[in-house]
Structure 1
Amino acid sequence: MATTGAQAQTKAEVMHWWTSGGESAAVQELAAAFNKAGGQWVDTAVAGGEAARAAAINRIVGGNPPTAAMFNTSQQYLDIIKEGMLNDIDAVAAKEHWDTMLPAPVISSIKVNGHYYAAPVNIHMPSWFWYSKPAFAKAGITGEPKTPDELFAALDKLKAAGLVPLALGGQGWQEYITFYSWLAQVGGTDLYLKFFKDHDAAVVNTPAFRKVLTDFKRLKSYTDAGSPGRNWNDATSMLITGKAGVQIMGDWAKGEFNNAKQVAGKDFGCFPGFGPKSPYIIAGDVFVFPRTKDANAIKAQQLLATSMTSPATQVAFNNKKGSIPIRTDVDASQMDLCAQTGLAIMKDKTRQIGVPDMLLAPDVGGAVQDIISKYWNTPQSVDDVVKALQGAIKG
């Protein structure tokens, strides 16, 4: 079939790392919206976030960039902005009123020196607690845990019932999510922000922070021998099949439940933290647009930014991805119980805090993650990990 002139002008090669079942279904919604708007989506998927980001940066630096490349809502792309290697999308941001429509933590990540350099496609909250309804029933757990103590009691019951209480993929980034989720949801917003935002080394040695570290390590006793090296979606599958009870993971896990035709509130449960004012950690995914002077490529970039962030695309994509839309003016009735909960919380700005990747430079964040993984996987004392974290956070 011959390619039309319009398609040729708006062909876009899009690099991303969405390769699991739920992720693949979700990215197809972005592609369909772009194609419907007159574009031609060319898919380049690279498994693994670090590998995909490295491949994108290598191509950008090497002078053979894709039209758009995926990053997290973070500081990951600040260096290529400083080097002048990205096009801004200010025209789309102005037309779509991003200054007033987007949450402040997202704006602070994608708007640099007064210019928008990335199009956000979702808001992920990495600190959701997921649980298998059949596993809870088998263990005799009748209610959703409302406090940390109730969660530990539920984990004990799951263990007694011969199930895996806590499904965890033993990889550094997953252990890190478990840590900062516990810090935010149990230690509280102030403790979390003093550490990640203020880089307050003294707070690490307070009784409240030390208790977070102790309870975090206690969670390991509820994982199974197969945990080390396990992928996150394989851990989610343990809940889907009723072999495990609980998983602490971002709302991308919901994409796997959805892909397995499971229904929130019926087959699985979800809660974003403990108590009505628990912090809602904002993370997510964005697409950046490598520098080009080619008018057709720039047109494709702006069409991508517009189609990705439109209300209808936001609902269709996020329903499959498990995340929630970047905008609150969407029809929430089309979304599931967990997403509706997230959207309602997002309207309370006092509960919004940025993910650590937004608050720490990549090298500092990497050092903290390495310390947490060592603590999780070795018999290291709380005193030793306190000293290590204090050294790292001073940066």
Structure 2
Amino acid sequence: MRSSRRAAIVAAAMAALLPVTACGGEGGSGDNTVEVFTWWADGGEKVGLDALVGVFDTRCPAQTFENGAIAGGAGANAKQVLASRLQTGSPPDTFQAHAGAELVDYIAAGQIEDLSSSYDDWGLREAFPPGLIDNLTYEDKIYSVPANIHRANVVWTNKQVLAKAGVTQAPTSMAEFVDALDAVRASGVTAPLAVGTDWTQLMLLETVLITVLGPDEFTGLWSGDTDWRGAEVTKAIADYDRLLGYSNGDRDALDWTDAERMLMNGRAGFQLMGDWEAADLDAMGFRDYYGYFTFPGSGETFQWLADSFTLPRGASNVDGARCWLETVGSSDGQREFNTKKGSIPARTDADPVNYPPYQQSAMADWKTATQVPSCAHGSACSQGMQEAANSAVAKFSTDHDAAALQNALAQAAEQFATS
């Protein structure tokens, strides 16, 4: 059976992740199973995936969905397994990837197919905004279909913790944020800012960089137009280090959901995380107890990322994969998925009335705020740069060597420049 074959492949990849010589483009599984490879294994992400599968089952009745999810925040574990499978010529039928620069590695390796003609067939060039189409295009071709738009620069709060500390308004500057953190700590919360492992730390650093540099210079960090060795980056790293001083000492051992639990159980008052947290908190019955605001000083900026799906070269069930991709880009698919996941639709024809309050506010901001990409989630940088940045902030979490962090990020930007 196909599912047994997939399980064996994944088990081998997880165990070793070693290159194995194999023939590319295996003929096919002999059935209509569509293996969809994601990192949406639990919480609000799994709820969103299940909703999308429901639409797929209706639109593609001749196909059978197979869940190829690998758990792990931001896809860290999934990407390792996927890399091994692509290398050995055993790809899933479609896989999740962040839209933007992260796809360049797959394109350069010849591992994913051009979907430009499908965009014409499915009317996606008209459905998605021109700016997003530009961000999805690489050398005049498009290689993925985005399911959504997420916002990264959002701070989530525990209303009860903040009320006890006397914090009644959302901070709008770094100084006000520090005052709020001090107030929460004074109320008895040891670590007022919940932080998780390396990629969540990179998210926090990015938001500080946006605040200090502004959107244009921040975007220039990834295009090469802004100097990583400049004085403003030095200041941002100092501000970031100050914020880490308000966080939990075990941050390097926690995934984002572990940090989220700190927020829920009152062991923290704030957490910087993407807006998938809204769906996760809602799914766990916490809707009435949390608040949110854009990171202080970046309220006019929308740091975006998009979960997208690809057609791998050598997929066993190409017809099924294309039906999945068409579902992902469809109006009903995006509605059912995004209302559950906490993100907003990539399509411009979505009606805000169908969405919960947070998504309505994000949809409005998406139209008016300045859009900037995220390296932590692949829209700004390649996977090589992403891995180097994660390693650099992980090291900084322990040694707090600001000069070393700035130098490591500058060297990584030079090594992995994508434009």
TM-score, length-normalised on structure 2?
Answer: 0.83
The aligned residue for residue 365 of structure 1 is 386
Aligned counterpart for 2:333 among listed residues 299, 313, 318: 313
Q: Deviations over 1:205-246 (max 9, x none)?
A: 22x322211110001111123323111011112222333100
Tell me, what secondary structure is at the counterpart of 1:13? strand
Map 1:8-27 onto structure 2 (within 5 A): 10-27=32-49
Q: Give the Cα separation in 1 of the matches to 2:412 and 2:279.
A: 34
Aligned counterpart for 1:142 among listed residues 151, 168, 178: 168
Tell me, what secondary structure is at the counterpart of 2:151? coil
The aligned residue for residue 269 of structure 2 is 245
Q: Which amino acid aligns with 1:236?
A: E
Deviation of the 1:10 alpha carbon: 4.7
RMSD: 2.3
CA contact (8 A) 1:9 1:300 kept: no
CA contact (8 A) 2:153 2:273 kept: yes
Deviation of the 1:157 alpha carbon: 0.7
Gaps of 5+ in 1: 1-7
Say whether residues 1:205 and 2:224 are aligned partners: no
TM-score, length-normalised on structure 1?
Answer: 0.88
The aligned residue for residue 98 of structure 1 is 124
Q: Give the Cα separation in 1 of the matches to 2:161 and 2:143.
A: 44
Query: 1:240/1:347 Cα in 2 relative to 1: closer, same or farther (>3 Å)?
Result: same
Tell me, what secondary structure is at the counterpart of 2:252? coil
Q: Deviations over 1:179-210 (max 9, x none)?
A: 00111134311331232222533x5322x322
The aligned residue for residue 165 of structure 1 is 192
Say whether residues 1:351 and 2:370 are aligned partners: yes
Tell me, what secondary structure is at the counterpart of 2:336? helix
Query: 1:391/1:88 Cα in 2 relative to 1: closer, same or farther (>3 Å)?
Result: closer
Aligned counterpart for 1:60 among listed residues 83, 86, 103: 86
Q: Give the Cα separation in 2 of the matches to 1:67 and 1:370.
A: 31
Tell me, what secondary structure is at the counterpart of 2:183? helix
CA contact (8 A) 1:328 1:347 kept: no
Query: 1:137/1:372 Cα in 2 relative to 1: closer, same or farther (>3 Å)?
Result: same
Deviation of the 1:375 alpha carbon: 2.3
The aligned residue for residue 333 of structure 1 is 353
Q: Deviations over 1:10-54 (max 9, x none)?
A: 531111111232221111112111111123211111123133223
CA contact (8 A) 1:126 1:283 kept: yes
Say whether residues 1:117 and 2:146 are aligned partners: no
The aligned residue for residue 214 of structure 2 is 188
Q: Give the Cα separation in 1 of the matches to 2:153 and 2:127.
A: 24
Q: Which moved more, 1:50-59 or 1:339-348?
A: 50-59
Query: 1:73/1:326 Cα in 2 relative to 1: closer, same or farther (>3 Å)?
Result: same
Gaps of 5+ in 2: 1-29
Aligned counterpart for 1:222 among listed residues 246, 254, 263: 246
Q: Deviations over 1:286-330 (max 9, x none)?
A: 111112487xx3321221112112222212212222221112321
Q: Give the Cα separation in 2 of the matches to 1:50 and 1:61.
A: 17
CA contact (8 A) 2:153 2:274 kept: yes
Q: Which amino acid aligns with 1:353?
A: V
Q: Give the Cα separation in 2 of the matches to 1:95 and 1:121.
A: 17
Query: 1:374/1:76 Cα in 2 relative to 1: closer, same or farther (>3 Å)?
Result: same
